[in-house]
A = this chain, B = another copy of it.
Amino acid sequence: MPQLKPLTYLIEVARIGSIRKAAEALAITPSALNRRILALEEELGAPIFERLPRGVRLNTAGELLIHHIRTQASDMDRVRSQIADLAGVRRGHVAIACSQALLPYFLPRQIQQYRTDHPAVSFSVHLRDREAAERALVEHEADLALVFEPTRFADFHTILTVRQPVCAVMAADHPLAGQESVRLRECQQFPLALPLAPYGVRYLLDSSAARLGTRLEPLIQSDSFEFLVACGGAADIIAFQIPIGLPEQSPGRVSVPLDSRDVPPGLLYLGHLRDRTLPVAAARFADQLATTFVAAYDYN
């Protein structure tokens, strides 16, 4: 939409904090960009940016305006996709912010399945920890969020939650491998490979351990679940992951859920920005996810 291109320039300026730098990123001259800002401030009768020695920063009025521009831009996208939809084109885009566990198996399959019906719909998938996911929704960087144990819910509207017990991942010949479930105490007898603090799995494990009056002493810490789970197959090391992030079967490795008396099952949240009307494509994809969860997972 050409009319609101100049407005989206503001978003870039606000993000970068400098008119000159933003102009470079936007492939126009600083002069032109500066003039747009001045003209807009003139039009509004109030400044939008504070002028600092090393750049600019949004003031309160600017925050309001930027928020409105973001909303308006994605609303226009939605209208466009609706119009394209009734022209029979069935194109569109779905932007997703999600926790790591969805990346290796679940989302790729879901997207593949969706594409059989809607081949012209494109996707963007952003890895966001449980704090950054809501921010992505607020900034309209994502239409949908799929987050394990999110921290905030202020602007978050939950479509569906899915119960996901934390599982211990270990070699198939590990002493604990045969059990239906394992106690946290049993795991502590072995070297542990744990994700870092921002992850929901770590949060659940740490808080459960604290409640049981103990502490987890990880041998290995990493921000990569791929790495951690690979460790879980080596020697007697135990890693942790939720089922949706694990393959159905992997040779030489097994996963055993933690006893729910020690570590309660976490919740995976599917949701979008509160009070927002989703674009058709995103709404349909959310429907598909919800259907899948209802059919194949322990939802509530």
**Chain A interface (Cβ within 8 Å of chain B)?**
1-4, 6-7, 43-46, 60-61, 64-65, 68, 71-72, 75-76, 79-80, 82-84, 86-87, 89, 275
Contacts and interface: CB of A to CB of B under 8 A. Distances in A.
Given A75-B68, A76-B68, A83 B3 contact: no
Contacts of A68: 75-76, 79
B87 A61 contact: yes
**Most chain B CB within a 10 A radius of its CB, from A3, A6, A82:** A3
Contact of A82 (B64, B79, B84): B64
Contacts of A86: 60-61
A135 to B, nearest CB: 21
Contacts of A60: 86
A87 B45 CA distance: 9
Closest 5 CB pairs of A and B: A61-B83, A46-B87, A68-B79, A3-B3, A46-B83
A43 B79 contact: no
Given A68-B76, A75-B72, A43 B83 contact: no
A44 B4 contact: no
Contacts of A65: 79, 83
17 contacts: A2-B43, A3-B6, A3-B7, A44-B80, A45-B83, A45-B89, A46-B87, A61-B83, A61-B86, A61-B87, A64-B82, A64-B83, A68-B75, A68-B76, A68-B79, A71-B75, A72-B75
A83 B42 CA distance: 13
B6 A84 contact: no
A60 B87 CA distance: 10
Nearest to A89: B45
Contacts of A1: 43
Given A46-B84, A60-B86, A65-B83, 20 more contacts: A3-B3, A3-B4, A3-B7, A44-B80, A45-B84, A45-B89, A46-B83, A46-B87, A61-B82, A61-B86, A61-B87, A64-B82, A64-B83, A65-B79, A68-B76, A68-B79, A72-B72, A72-B75, A72-B76, A275-B275
